[in-house]
């Protein structure tokens, strides 16, 4: 190819400049770059799992497209959790599991659950 296939379009009279932020106000870029503590975030599953890192759990998982592994239980210690995954270490079998959250049905905790939300700090 000649290298001109994926060019950004240009429009006549496209001289738009973003408005300047008045002194004392916070710009959108400043808001998006601030980090919110975990306790101020919304109550999502990955945040609850992250708060309970190191706790023993059973993760009940379903794989709808698999006939051999339709329903599976992973037992172990929560090592990490993210938006789309959970990592569990099974010390009885010396295995590590990377589980996609999309397949996770529920989690059974063998210890009290640490739950922290903007409105409460509780252990259940």
pLDDT, one tens digit for every residue, the chain (124 residues): 455 544 455 555 555 454 555 555 555 444 444 444 544 556 689 999 999 999 999 999 999 998 888 999 999 999 999 999 999 999 999 999 999 999 999 999 999 999 876 555 666 5
pLDDT at 118: 57
Residue 109 in any domain: the answer is yes
Domain assignment present for residue 81? The answer is: yes
For 114, the domain range is: 38-123
Number of domains in the chain: 1
23 part of a folded domain? no
The CA distance from 19 to 103, in Å, is: 45
For residue 60, the domain's CATH number is 2.30.30.520
Q: Are 124 and 50 in contact (CB under 8 A)?
A: no
CB under 8 Å, gap of 24 or more: what pairs does 74-83 form? 74/99, 78/49, 78/52, 78/53, 78/54, 79/53, 80/50, 80/53, 81/46, 81/49, 81/50, 81/53, 82/46, 83/46
Integer-rounded Cα radius of gyration of the chain: 23
What per-residue confidence (pLDDT) applies to 69?
Answer: 83
Does residue 15 sit within a domain? no
Q: For residue 108, what pLDDT is reported? A: 97
Domain presence at residue 69: yes
> Model's pTM, two decimal places?
0.61
Q: Which two tokens stand for residue 124?
A: 């259940």
Residue 17 has a pLDDT of: 54
Spatial CB neighbours of 4, under 8 Å, sequence gap ≥ 6? none
Using alpha carbons, select from 109, 108, 100 the residue that is nearest to residue 64: 100
pLDDT of the residue at 58: 98
Q: If we measure between CA atoms, which residue out of 108, 101, 77 comes closest to residue 90?
A: 77
pLDDT at residue 94, as a whole number: 97
Does 102 fall in a domain?
Answer: yes
Find the DSSP H helices in 5-70.
Answer: 28-32, 45-51
75 inside domain: yes
**Closest Cα partner for 37 from 120, 95, 117?**
117
């Amino acid at each position: 190819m000649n290298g001109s296939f994926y060019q950004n379009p240009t429009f006549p009279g496209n001289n738009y400049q973003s408005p300047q932020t008045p002194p004392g106000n916070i710009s959108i870029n400043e808001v998006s770059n601030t980090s919110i503590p975990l306790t101020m975030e919304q109550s999502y599953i990955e945040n609850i799992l992250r708060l309970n890192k190191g706790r023993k759990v059973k993760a009940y998982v379903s794989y709808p497209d698999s006939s051999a592994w339709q329903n599976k239980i992973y037992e172990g210690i929560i090592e990490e959790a993210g938006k789309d995954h959970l990592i569990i270490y099974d010390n009885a079998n010396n295995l590590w599991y990377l589980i996609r959250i999309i397949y996770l049905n529920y989690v059974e905790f063998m210890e009290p659950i640490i739950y922290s939300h903007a409105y409460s700090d509780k252990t259940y």
